[in-house]
Amino acid sequence: MMTNTSAPWGLRLGTLALWALAGASLVYWGLQLAVRPPLVSAPVAAPAPPLPDAQALARLLGAGPAPATPVVAAPSRFVLQGVLAGTASGGGAALIAIDNQPARPFRLGATVTDGLVVKSLGRRQVRLGPSEGTEGAVTLEVPEKGG
């Protein structure tokens, strides 16, 4: 009788290869799970508390409305280039250049910039001031012609 001894070796080598592959997979995934750094969450900063409104708090405690501070512009912003005063209608106008822009005419009582109006006109000067009072007034004069 004759037995085939090569058949069991093929089956044995196939089984050994499958077990080696399973062992290698187990070692690989074991190392992946062991080496993974722990998850660290970023610290969450608390939002800043809102600042109290000082004017609302003052009104709540019975204070009156804050007085409006007059807006006084620097006279160097304005250049008076001409005045037309004493017209028949009692008005007048001033030719004023603001911040090195081309000059524009402003009638008596007209707003020149925020909070400044033409208060009075003279022969060679213009008085600008806040619309509600006379404090903080600015006087402009026509520059003398040199020559």
Tens of each residue's pLDDT in the chain, 147 residues: 566 666 677 888 999 999 999 999 999 999 888 886 767 777 778 888 888 887 787 878 877 665 555 555 556 788 888 888 665 566 788 888 888 888 888 888 888 887 788 888 888 888 888 877 656 678 888 877 764
Which pLDDT belongs to residue 94? 87
Which pLDDT belongs to residue 7? 66
Answering whether pTM is above 0.85, one says no
Query: What letters, b where the CB count within 10 A reaches 16 and e where it falls short, cover 105-129?
Result: ebebeeebeebbbbbbbeeeebbbb
Q: How distant is the alpha carbon of residue 12 from its chain centre?
A: 77
Which pLDDT belongs to residue 57? 78
- DSSP, collapsed to helix, strand or coil, labels residue 82 as strand
For 16, 33, 34, the CA distances from 28, given in Å and listed in that order, are: 18, 9, 10
Which pLDDT belongs to residue 89? 62
